[in-house]
Structure 1
Amino acid sequence: MRHSDLPFRALSVLHTSRYLFNKYGFHKVGVDRIIELSKTSKATFYNYFHSKERLIEMSLTFQKDGLKHGVISIINVQKELTLIEKLRKIYFLHTDLDGLYHLPFKAILEISKTHPKAYQVVVEYRNWFINEIYNLLLTTNANAAKQDAYMFLFVIDGAMVQLLDPNKPDERERLLDYFLIQFK
């Protein structure tokens, strides 16, 4: 079921769960807490989501769809931007603890073994993302390597790890600049 087809109560559960998963993690948030905060019944929850794993899967799909829309917009709609400018925008779209990539990144660390079907949503997004970045790199350099697209994703992941540590300064700019040197 598409998110736009969900009734208000189901959307409320979905938005509440995304907030709670982002804040506390997937394992520390139970169905009872979600339904209490979303002010819905267990019957409504199970009618629309069937299980916590299905809710996690739908939450990640919601985030994935938003990220894809953002990346496609930067690459294909904002044609006036240079390669470096596009990579910067895509990077900062992903490296934001309040942004759409935080929940999929958290899923990488928390649910690969416990919720494999939901985890697959993240794997599919990352594969799609690597291909999009690789194709973007090919637009300015016919000799671009797919490894460069993987490295870009690793830089994003490194920035996210750094942002999650409150004792570390925000080094996103420096990490990105170090990666971008090869394209100048």
Structure 2
Amino acid sequence: MVQLTDTVARPATHAKVRILATADRLFYAEGVHTVGVDRIISESKVTKATFYKYYRSKDALIVVYLQGRDRIAREFLAAVDTRFDTPEQRLRGIVAEISTQVTRQGFHGCPFINAAAQFADPNHPVRQAVTAHREWYGTAVEDLFRGMGHARPGDAADDFFLARDGAFAGANLGDPIGAHTALLRAVQRVLDEAAG
């Protein structure tokens, strides 16, 4: 059996991964406009040349950051699909996760809404990444309401996202408990429409 000692070299995390992990942490905590490339380079412990080898610009890095957050959301919904049997259970599973997020220490709102607020041009690659995420997520939630037999699944999905976005904003502004309970009330009303 081989024993690891302090003298055994451990592989360093690949520079590209370190840059993205650093950017993810800083962008989410402080905002994509506030965090500069020099700070990401410094905290990632890479050179400027290494940064630009993997990410041609800060905007390109922001897009990759959002794509990573999108991938996490897609993996979460895939897990919800396998864990729960009915569309209503799946929607409740999504709401439970949102409630957990908004009451978590270090919560700073929705990374997509936060990024979109800083890029006004709808044709900018950052806004396009946000739009792609929102369209996918909206379709997934609308399909769940359709599966429940809701008479107006598109409207129900809109109501769901208004409640979700409001909860994210309210919690980020300092009232996570109020945001959590308001979200539960709003989503319950939408679910009741499907049952009625």
1:57·1:121 contact (CA, 8 Å) conserved in 2? yes
1:134·1:144 contact (CA, 8 Å) conserved in 2? no
Deviation at 1:88, TM superposition (A): 2.7
Matches within 5 A, 1:88-103: 88-94=92-98, 96=101, 102-103=110-111
**Among candidates 56, 60, 63, match of residue 66 of structure 2:** 60
Q: CA RMSD for the aligned pairs?
A: 2.4
**Deviation readout 1:55-97 (Å, 9 max, x if unpaired):** 00000000001101111221x21233560x3223213434525
Distance 2:41 2:160 in 1: 38
Structure 2 unaligned blocks of 5 or more: 1-12
2:21 is the counterpart of 1:15: yes
The match for 1:104 is 112
**Deviation readout 1:123-173 (Å, 9 max, x if unpaired):** 11111111111111111215233011111111111001101112x352213
SS at match of 1:111: coil
Distance 1:65 1:78 in 2: 18
Distance 1:100 1:86 in 2: 25
The match for 2:189 is 181
One-letter amino acid matched to 1:125: H
Distance 2:72 2:32 in 1: 20
CA gap 1:114/1:25 in 2 versus in 1, 3 angstroms: farther
Matches within 5 A, 1:75-86: 76-80=81-85, 83=88, 85-86=89-90
CA gap 1:142/1:170 in 2 versus in 1, 3 angstroms: closer
SS at match of 2:74: helix
Deviates more, 1:62-71 or 1:94-103: 94-103
2:127 is the counterpart of 1:119: yes
Could you state the TM-score of these two structures normalised by the residue count of structure 2? Answer: 0.80
The match for 2:6 is none
Structure 1 unaligned blocks of 5 or more: 1-6
CA gap 1:26/1:147 in 2 versus in 1, 3 angstroms: same
Could you state the TM-score of these two structures normalised by the residue count of structure 1? Answer: 0.84
User: Runs of 4+ in structure 1 displaced over 6 angstroms?
Assistant: none
2:165 is the counterpart of 1:151: no
2:170 is the counterpart of 1:162: yes
The match for 2:56 is 50
Using the aligned pairs only, state the percent identity: 25
Point out the structure with max Rg over C-alpha: 2
Distance 1:71 1:121 in 2: 18
CA gap 1:94/1:123 in 2 versus in 1, 3 angstroms: farther
Distance 1:114 1:145 in 2: 26
Distance 2:43 2:122 in 1: 24
SS at match of 1:110: coil
SS at match of 1:143: coil
